[in-house]
Amino acid sequence: MTTQFKKPSPGITPETKPFWDAAKRNEFMLVKCVGCGFYRNPVSITANICPECGSRKPGEWVKASGKGRVHTYTAVHRTFDPSFEKELPYIIVIVELEEGPRFLSNMRDAKPEDMKLDMPLEVVFEKVSDEVTVPYFKPAK
Amino acid sequence: MSQKECAIVGLGYTPQGKCPDWSVRELFLEASVNAIKDAGMKPHDIDGILVELCWTDPTTQNWSLQMDLGIPELSLSAVYDSMGASPGCQMQVAQWAIQNGICKNVLCAFVEKSATAPAVPYRMSAGPGLAYGLHGAMHGIALAAMRHKMLYGTTSEQLGEVAVTFRKHAQLNPKAQMYGKPMTLADHQNSRIIAEPLHLFDCCLVSDGGRAAVITSGDRAKDCPQPPVYIMGYGQGHVKMDLIERNTLVDTGAGVSGAHAFRTAGIQHKDIDVLGLYDATTHNIITQLEELGFCERGEGGPFVENGRLSIDGEFPTNLSGGMLSETYLQGWTGIPEIVSQLRGHCGDRQVKDAKIGLVTNQGGYIAFHSTLILRR
């Protein structure tokens, strides 16, 4: 059973739709520059340009490992968004993905005191509505 | 120095703290009228206006301030939007316009209204931050502070020392929002956690208020009623707005900005008598001290211990109380305080015989940075 996603929308745009479509299939995709092979963050793309080499050719969507390490995190104890209140303290994590780019997410299956620099992580998908499946991260097995 | 120094000759203030009865436009006008008066000028002497946008009312801009002041014609007129880093940037642009003979006297102004009116989030960083509960600057800075803690072992007590020091300074400033409310390190440690590692007392205040300044040439400054404060050195450094797209989360633009400022001023760190560092949180202070070269990378925590930033310490910092304990007027909290210190007008909180001051501004999840080195 799925209910309507109560949290703010991840802001799906035409540029980032392939990422969110893949997430519905439980696949974690990145954009790879066809010019230089640079991997881009898949959810902050606002234009077809490679920030590394300047190529204007649309990037290629490729399946990524979904693995990475803790670059940093914070455990949030106060929020003004009621949709997060039940989860306090929740963990915002910046994951350094194996392929290079960083990805902002939340932790699953971890307490604040478990968090360590460079701790290995892996993606986990949660279907939050018929339209949206959100990738989160958990400690790698 | 190839070009003649410019000087800050006018400062304008308004009531600060909570100003529910003031519109953004009225606060802009009040600060500007007071700055022009402080400079010994009339509105018609102003031929440049640079406004830092107020997110509560982005419709109050350079053009509306020009109309309210009744200035028929300007040679420079623009909105500046490097968020908290704007005033240092505005004053640099003002300086360049004056040095190149485009303007004689430039008015820079800003209003903050976040205590009693919500900001209009007209520009957000890309990406799904809200879906992951990333809400505003404190969460973003907490991510940077946590990486600093994990890399270098920076402690909450070291962050607390910054907060306690600035609160102590605020007890010497009757205009500070935290005047009459002293704080101990135990108070800091016992304050609720906002986002680890930041406690409530690591985070700046929320405030209303307006401030403005008048910049003119060094020659004209000599005829102004207030002691001139000259712009010796200046710099800017801007990294990517989006946290995840930056090279590192600990480096802000302060390194580049500070290097430009020290180079243009031609002075050393030991020459600085008084500092005004942008204190959105206590972490900002520690990382800026490192990036500006007052200590090595990672040593900011130990550096602030033992009262080094205190009024009687080696590097007196944020004597007004800063944004942590005076008022949150972004970059406009620090610059007027350093100007006042160099004028020698700070009463109980005056740093004795202050000749040279360094002041920084930051904005946009600490993406934008500006530095000014000022002298009397």
* B10-38 residue pLDDT tens: 999 999 999 999 999 999 999 999 999 99
Count the neighbouring beta carbons within 10 Å of the beta carbon of residue A113: 8
Does position B121 have pLDDT exceeding 50, yes or no? Answer: yes
Does residue B72 form part of some domain? yes
Q: CA torsion angle for B198, B199, B203, B208 (degrees, to 10)?
A: 140
Read off the pLDDT band of B124 (50, 70, 90).
Answer: low
CB-side neighbour CA atoms (13 Å) of B317: 27
Average pLDDT, chain B: 95
What is the distance, to the nearest Å, from the Cα of residue B25 to the centroid of all Cα atoms in its chain? 21
User: In the predicted model, what is the mean pLDDT of residues B359-366?
Assistant: 92
Rounded distance between C-alpha atoms, residue B254 and residue B337, angstroms:
20
CB contact under 8 A, A11 and B130: yes
The total domain count for chain B is 1
Point out the residue among A44, A92, A134 whose CB comes nearest to the CB of B126. A44
Phi then psi dihedrals of residue B244, to 5 deg: -75, -15
Q: Which of B127-136, B306-315, B328-337 is predicted with the least confidence, judged by mean pLDDT?
A: B127-136
Does residue B99 form part of some domain? yes
Token pair belonging to A98: 């194996």
Domain that holds residue B211: 6-119+206-221
Query: For the segment B250-281, what is each residue's pLDDT rounded down to a tens digit?
Result: 889 999 999 999 999 999 999 999 999 999 99
User: B192 to chain A, minimum CA–CA distance in Å?
Assistant: 8
CB contact under 8 A, B150 and A117: yes
Residue showing tokens 């000028």:
B41
- Chain B CB contacts of A74 under 8 Å are 139, 142-143, 145-146, 195-198
Per-residue three-class SS string for B282-337 = HHHHHHHHHHCCCCCCCCHHHHCHHHCCCCCCCCCECCCCHHHHCCCCCHHHHHHH
Amino acid at B105: N
pLDDT value at position A2?
46
Does position B248 have pLDDT exceeding 50, yes or no? Answer: yes
Determine what percent of chain A is predicted with pLDDT higher than 70.
96
Q: For residues A77-99, b (16+ Cβ closer than 10 Å) or e, as one string?
A: bbbeeeebeeeebbbbbbbbbeb
Determine what percent of chain A is predicted with pLDDT higher than 90.
69
Q: Which residues on adjacent β-strands are paired with residue A118?
A: none
Q: Where are the domains of chain A?
A: 17-139
A120, A69 contact by CB (below 8 A): yes
Read off the pLDDT band of A1 (50, 70, 90).
Answer: very low
Reply yes or no on whether B152 is catalytic.
no
Does residue B106 form part of some domain? yes
Does position A104 have pLDDT exceeding 80, yes or no? Answer: yes
Counting every residue written for chain B, the total comes to: 376
- E-state strands within chain B: 6-13, 48-52, 76-80, 105-113, 193-195, 198-199, 208-217, 229-238, 274-276, 356-363, 368-375
pLDDT value at position B281?
98
Q: Which of A77-81, B163-167, B187-191 is predicted with the least confidence, judged by mean pLDDT?
A: A77-81
What CATH number corresponds to the domain at position B21?
3.40.47.10
- Going by C-beta distance under 8 Å and a sequence separation of 6 or more, which residues neighbour residue B222? B228
Rounded distance between C-alpha atoms, residue B325 and residue B173, angstroms:
10
CB-side neighbour CA atoms (13 Å) of B17: 9
Query: For the segment B192-236, what is each residue's pLDDT rounded down to a tens digit?
Result: 999 999 999 999 999 999 999 999 999 999 999 999 999 999 999
pLDDT value at position B89?
97
Rounded distance between C-alpha atoms, residue A1 and residue A24, angstroms:
15
B97, A54 contact by CB (below 8 A): no
Beta strands at B76-80 and B48-52: parallel, antiparallel or unpaired: parallel
Does residue B30 form part of some domain? yes
User: In the predicted model, what is the mean pLDDT of residues B42-56?
Assistant: 95
User: B333 to chain A, minimum CA–CA distance in Å?
Assistant: 26
Taking CA–CA distances from B241, the nearest residue in chain A reads A44
Q: Which of B80, B230, B234, B328 is catalytic?
A: B328
Q: Which of A125-134, B145-154, B155-164 is predicted with the least confidence, judged by mean pLDDT?
A: A125-134
Counting every residue written for chain A, the total comes to: 141
Taking CA–CA distances from A117, the nearest residue in chain B reads B150
Does position B122 have pLDDT exceeding 60, yes or no? Answer: no
Rounded distance between C-alpha atoms, residue A137 and residue A122, angstroms:
5
- At B227 the three-state DSSP class reads coil
Rounded distance between C-alpha atoms, residue B162 and residue B169, angstroms:
11
Determine what percent of chain B is predicted with pLDDT higher than 90.
88
pTM value?
0.95
Query: For the segment B55-78, what is each residue's pLDDT rounded down to a tens digit?
Result: 889 899 999 999 999 999 999 999
Does position B344 have pLDDT exceeding 90, yes or no? Answer: yes
Does position A12 have pLDDT exceeding 80, yes or no? Answer: yes
Reply yes or no on whether B278 is catalytic.
yes
- Going by C-beta distance under 8 Å and a sequence separation of 6 or more, which residues neighbour residue B198? A74, B138, B141, B142, B145, B159, B281, B282, B283
Q: Which of B13, B80, B152, B278 is catalytic?
A: B278
CB contact under 8 A, A89 and B131: no
Mutation for testing the B interface, residue in A9, A30, A46, A74 having most B CBs under 10 Å: A74
Q: Which residues on adjacent β-strands are paired with residue B368?
A: B238, B363
Q: Which of A72-76, B242-246, B301-305 is predicted with the least confidence, judged by mean pLDDT?
A: B242-246
Does residue B25 form part of some domain? yes
- Chain B CB contacts of A72 under 8 Å are 143-144, 146-147, 150, 249
- Chain A CB contacts of B134 under 8 Å are 92, 104
pLDDT value at position A3?
52
Determine what percent of chain B is predicted with pLDDT higher than 70.
97
| Cα–Cα separations (whole angstroms), residue A37 to A31, A99, A137, B93 | 9, 10, 25, 40
Average pLDDT, chain A: 92
Q: Which of A15-29, A35-49, B50-64, B74-88 is predicted with the least confidence, judged by mean pLDDT?
A: A35-49
